[in-house]
Chain A
Amino acid sequence: MILEGKRLLITGLMTKQSIAYAAAEQAQQQGAEIVLTSFGRARRLTERAARGLPETPDVLELDVNEPDDFAALADELGSRWGALDGVLHAIAFAPEDALGGRFLETPPESAVQAFTTSAYSLKALAASLAPLLEEAEAGSVVGLDFDASVAWPVYDWMGVAKAALEAVARYLARDLGPRGVRVNLVSAGPIETAAAGGIPGFDKLAAEWQRRAPLAWDTGDPSPVAGTVCYLMSDLSRGVTGEIVHVDGGYHAMGAPLA
């Protein structure tokens, strides 16, 4: 059990198909104690899905666009645990006009909203929880990424926001490393989550994976991604920070379709 005794905060669990759900499930199986966050109307969904976990965790309020929520969250975790071993950032949002092939027409407010919710929020979360992560022996911050080193069809300003997320993670690694806290991202292949349903053209992307990834890639199975999240939360990765681990069946390393 690689997460025995670890106290982890997991955001972004909305349904049983969520990558965060698979991460929460595996973390519990590996011995971790977990708490979830959700907000507003998504909370009902989170609570419904949470009942399917091996142990039903508590759900705390966190809207990453509400600065007060971060302080309240840190207070609650502080009085509950006194320290935090890890946090999974699984949060992204882009307005409809920032995705789907209208890259040249997207207004600045929509691009900014994608950036704030999907990238800046990693800094906000890590900074507000840093005092608790420091109290742990080896605090770990993990975020979910989609390879932002290249341009994709339809992903548009979400792709730009992911590029920002990658940079935010590197700067966080710089600033939190001296305090004993690691910051890493998992760059996942396409997974059929509720969030992916909001991406027009997701099916085309998923089909491309079947042609190019050398390992078989099942878009319905987030467990390989969750496994790497657990590794990055565990002491097995204690020398790793500022890293982007690709859990994409090898897609990123191929220069052309395989057949």
Chain B
Amino acid sequence: MPTANKEQIEARMTEALESFGADRDQIKREADWESLDIDSLDLVELAQIVEEEYGVKMREEDMKELKTVGDAVDFVAERAGS
């Protein structure tokens, strides 16, 4: 699995969230899912992307703790060995 730094992970997540219909200008570390119009189905897809590309499993119970874009980026960065 390729290592990735936090900036790369944030860029990849921003791209994914934008593809789910979130407004690019609104995608910031402190933005929460609701403000981005990201629902549970989008989060399931995000978890699949993260697992495929970084080998990081985001389980349902982890997801519940991750309220913002920044939370998710940090979660993945910590576990992706960057």
Contact = CB atoms under 8 A, between A and B. Distances in A.
Contacts of A15: 44, 47-48
A14 B51 CA distance: 15
- Binding site of B, secondary structure by majority: helix, strand, loop or mixed? helix
B78 interface: no
A211 interface: no
Contact of A44 (B40, B45, B59, B61): B45
Interface stretch (A58-66, A84-92, A176-184, A196-204): A196-204
Contacts of B59: 192
A45 interface: yes
Interface string B53-65: 0000001110100
A49 interface: yes
Interface in B26-82: 40-41, 44-45, 47-49, 51-52, 59-61, 63
Contact of A48 (B41, B48, B61): B48
B60 A49 contact: no
Nearest to A49: B48
A168 B60 CA distance: 31
Contact of B45 (A45, A192, A197, A202): A45
Nearest to B51: A16
A181 to B, nearest CB: 33
A41 B48 contact: no
B41 A45 contact: yes
B48 A16 contact: yes
A93 to B, nearest CB: 12
B46 to A, nearest CB: 11
Interface residues of A, number: 16
A202 B60 CA distance: 10
Given A192-B60, A203-B61, A198 B40 contact: yes
A222 to B, nearest CB: 15
Contacts of A216: none
A42 B48 contact: no
28 contacts: A14-B44, A15-B44, A15-B47, A16-B48, A16-B51, A41-B41, A42-B41, A44-B45, A45-B41, A45-B44, A45-B45, A45-B48, A48-B45, A48-B48, A48-B49, A48-B52, A49-B48, A192-B59, A192-B60, A194-B60, A196-B60, A197-B40, A197-B44, A197-B60, A197-B63, A198-B40, A202-B60, A203-B61
Given A14-B44, A197-B63, A203-B61, 8 more contacts: A15-B48, A16-B51, A48-B52, A49-B48, A192-B59, A192-B60, A194-B60, A198-B40
Closest 7 CB pairs of A and B: A197-B60, A194-B44, A45-B45, A15-B48, A41-B41, A48-B48, A15-B44
